[in-house]
Amino acid sequence: MVKRCVVQFCGNSCYTGHSVHLFPKDPATRRQWVRFVQSKRENFDPPSEKSSAVICEAHFEKDCFTNSFMRDMGFKSKKELKPGAVPTIHPIPTEDQLAKQGSKRLPDVGGGLSAKRPRQSRASAKLEVARVRKHTILIIVTFTGLFNWSINFCEYFT
């Protein structure tokens, strides 16, 4: 089975030449890993103890690894995480990935089952912005109308 990185917008696996790391056994560190993934993937379920869910090396600072120096020197050695190391680096999504995410999210807006939404989703935030913009345009249109009307009014009486 291919161990693919579970982080949002990351498709790295052992086949792409990245070292991948199983979720740690230590509950506190494990929770931090889960939180890291969930910060971009709200519906990510914490993996079970036996799960083969992994996070790839791309999300860890260099000093999270014990033997990065050996690798830097050109030695082939598997990257080992220091105990307690926590992923912190999120991949930057491409336009394509963002578009895909948008279309995937739209159908479940207001859908009941996946109601666990601690934060406002990006889709609804966008809707909010669109709504505010609509209001602004309406106000501007109304004011321009009023302005034109008062000019006509003045011209009529002069």
Nearer to Zn ion, 32 or 108 (CB): 32
Judged by CB under 5 A, the number of residues near Zn ion is 6
CB 65 within 8 A of CB 80: yes
Contacts of 153 (CB under 8 A, 6+ apart): none
Q: At 144, which helix (H) or strand (E)?
A: helix 122-157
Question: Residue 37, interface with Zn ion (CB under 5 A)?
Answer: no
Taking the C-alpha atoms of residue 104 and residue 56, their distance in angstroms, rounded to an integer, is: 24
Q: Which of 3, 7, 33, 85 contacts Zn ion by CB under 5 A?
A: 7
C-beta separation of 91 from 40 below 8 A: no
Contacting Zn ion (CB under 5 A), which of 37, 54, 56, 86? 56
Q: Which of 14, 22, 34, 58 binds Zn ion (CB under 5 A)?
A: 58
Residue in 3, 4, 10, 24 binding Zn ion, rule: CB under 5 A:
10
What single DSSP character describes residue 65?
Answer: B
Distance CA 147, CA 153 (A): 10
Q: How many helices (H) and strands (E) does the chain have?
A: 4, 2
CB of 9 to Zn ion, least distance (A): 9
**Residue 19 interacts with Zn ion (CB under 5 A)?**
no
Complex with Zn ion: residue 58 or 123, whichever CB lies closer: 58
**Applying CB under 5 A, does 12 fall inside the site for Zn ion?**
yes
Cβ at position 59, least distance to Zn ion in Å: 5
- In the complex, which residues of this chain contact Zn ion (CB under 5 A)? 5, 7, 10, 12, 56, 58
